[in-house]
Amino acid sequence: MSTSISLSTIKAYHIAALCKLCSDALVLVDNITLEWLRITNIIGHLFCSVNRPTIKLINDQDLFENNKHSHLIIILQQSIPINRLNDICTEQNFDSILLLTSSPSIIDDHNNEWDEHLIDILQRKTLHFPFISITDSLLLIPTLIPYQLPTIETLTSLSNEKIKTMTSLDTIFDKDEIKTIRVHAEMLNSLMASMNGREDIFILGPLSHVIAREYTQMTNVKQRRRSGENKIALLLIDRHLDLATPSSHQQDTLLAQIINFLPNVRIKSFDDCHQRTIDIKVDTRALLKNLSSKFENDFNSYLFADMKRRVGNADAESVFDNIIYSKSKVATAEVFTHLLESLIYNNLETKIKSVKVSTAAISACLEKFRQAPKVLCKNYELLVISCCLMQIMESIDENQNFERLIGLERILVQALTTNAGPSPFSIILQTLKDDLMKPDEERLLKLIDYVILLINIYSLAGNDVFYGKEEKDRAHKLIGKEILNDSSFTKTLREKMRTLGYSLEIEYVLDVIYQRLDLILSYKRRYKYLNSLIVHGSDEQPAYRQSLLKQIFDLFKQYGNFGLPSSSISSRLTGSANVSTIQQEQLVNDIEHVPFDGFTDFFKSAARGFFGDAKPCITSNDYSTIVVFIVGGITPHEIQLIHEYSQQIRKQIIIGSSGIMKPEDILSILLK
């Protein structure tokens, strides 16, 4: 029988199992694994255990200095050469060596390069639940983009038929792309295993289809599903199908402001690039009594990692969940109210004063906590969030910049949907011209802002956003010239591309952007219902922009809390159908079910066909839980959206992805 799935319970179980496994061992990890250990607070559990392990980074120089452990454990979430592993495993004699990876494809040994002395003592296992559960309905991969996604050109060239008849991945994808596909499939299998799932898999987009195809052909998936108790609909969605949402400067939640204004933690990868992780640095100097520290890390805290230490602290958990899901004003008021109440509860204040939320008010509260170190430690999570809020409120320039961008986006969408007045391109062009007339220090927006605005509006409607080729060429020429002249933009862009391992001639940036957005728009025309991010209006309701995820869940909600009935035999015989039925069928055709191979699924499919239901439907009431995984990144807006729908329908909805995106991350997708 299906039950509600708790990600925190799953995480706690796997933390306990990993701590037991690592007891009294030398544990070597890569940078991504160390980040995972830190954010989930597994590292805290390991250090507090009775038989405390020694944890070192695998690329450190003195791995075995003063080593007293007889057991070696290596935990990896990114690839390293086999010969490097051989050298590590054979440098000292160990009673046992265990290699744990987030998926079997992390380490490839097709050439049998393992040292023969390791065959008897080396064990290889897969790390269970290698995710970070931010809340009980949100999970992420530790780094934003840890793997190389296939190119847009490759993905948009794939039809469903081509994917279904594909004999081998290496006929279409390169080695790194194949690893990405397999890692996603294997990690999703680990997720479903942790949830004790008996899942049906649904897809929207070519990359999701390829991952699902690889997923359904895994032998251990078929074996595991037979004993699964929780009926789950696993929906995979390509990020490429909606690039307008991540390129939009939405500030509807406090989490969105945190993601956009505060710096991310960065880790050094094997190729010496600094990779952005999902965690956020928070300046907590306001909590220090002595401000003479010379080291940045002495006054930095980390949002997600510190929140994971809130063991049994329901108050901090409530505040943190409000940050994730609530609107900005609601979350801000909630944090400040809890801060004032905590002062009274800990006898640091006699009564709550009617004070408006401001940086000065928050600073005054933190000053009182600073004078009571024990109380400060007890309420540390709440105070970190308060410091976070204060930083956002102090970011006056960033707030003003985002307000301008939000206002411009609204004007552009209105120009696009009303088909009257100046075109969206001409509005961007004129705004840029006005900005270029000013000195650099007085310009309202940066060049990268204009490029992202172009991406945002072009991803909605393609060539419909301008009046004729001449206008497009003028904007293209002006912005292209500024791209070459803006050294800060080109330096940032080149660094971002180098970090991702890609090369690009800067002068061709706009050409590549247009071409790839055109490919995506062309591919989306294959869909019946989810073919546009513009919802066409009427005389009473003008057309408006709507995210892909909202379109999906709005239609689900419209049909009775996901209870979408199958077409009955009588309706087929009579040929009766209304607009709602047509929309239902279009949605079901767009979100395709990917069957598992094997006799069991064959007979189930045959039985459904006999009783008038040809294949599983994601809107069926059979599923107690919907797991939505967006391949390529998720936005704060989408996180909040899923939470809203989970409150309105009789389903548990869990959403996951490879990281929380900022608007500038859209360049990483388009300029690969």
Sorted by sequence, the CB contacts under 8 Å of residue 513 that are 6+ apart come out as 451, 454, 455, 458, 670, 671
How is residue 460 written in tokens?
A: 């909605």
| Predicted structure pTM score | 0.89
In the sheet that 54-57 helps form, which strands lie side by side, from edge to edge?
A: 54-57, 26-29, 71-76, 96-101, 122-126
Rounded-to-integer distance, Cα 110 and Cα 112, Å? 6
Tokens of 135: 């809340």
SS3 of residue 627 by DSSP: strand
* Nearest to 331, CA basis, from 277, 394, 251: 251
- The radius of gyration of the chain's CA atoms, rounded to the nearest angstrom, is 26
- Separation of alpha carbons 137 and 6, rounded Å: 8
Fold of the 135-239+547-670 domain: Rossmann fold (3.40.50)
Residue-wise pLDDT tens digits, 473-509: 777 777 777 776 766 666 766 666 565 555 556 667 7
Which DSSP string do the residues of 565-601 spell out, in sequence order?
PPPPHHHHHHT---HHHHHHHHHHHHSEEEPPPSHHH
State the Cα–Cα distance between residues 130 and 114, nearest whole angstrom.
25
> One fold for both 7-130 and 135-239+547-670?
yes
CATH fold for domain 7-130: Rossmann fold (3.40.50)
- pLDDT beneath 70, residues of the chain: 1-3, 109-113, 143-147, 268-274, 290-299, 308-315, 350-354, 419, 484, 486-490, 492-507, 536-543, 559-581, 583-584, 597-614
Beta carbons within 8 Å of 514's beta carbon, 6+ residues apart: 458, 476
How much helix, strand and coil, in percent to the nearest 5, is found in the chain?
A: 55, 15, 35
SS3 track for 600-624: HHHHHHHHHHHCCCCCCCCCCCCCC
Give the span between the Cα atoms of 93 and 72, in whole angstroms. 10
CB neighbours of residue 204 within 10 Å: 24
CA neighbours within 13 Å on the CB side: how many for 176? Answer: 11
Domain boundaries, the chain: 7-130, 135-239+547-670, 254-394, 409-524
pLDDT digit string (tens) for 1-50?
A: 456 888 888 988 998 999 999 999 999 998 888 888 988 888 888 888 88
Burial class of residue 647, CB neighbours in 10 A (0-12, 13-18, 19+): exposed
Q: Which amino acid is located at 620 in the chain?
A: S
* Chain centroid, CA 392 distance in Å: 22
Res 75: pLDDT: 94
**344: number of Cβ within 10 Å:** 12
Question: In this predicted structure, what is the pLDDT of residue 102?
Answer: 86
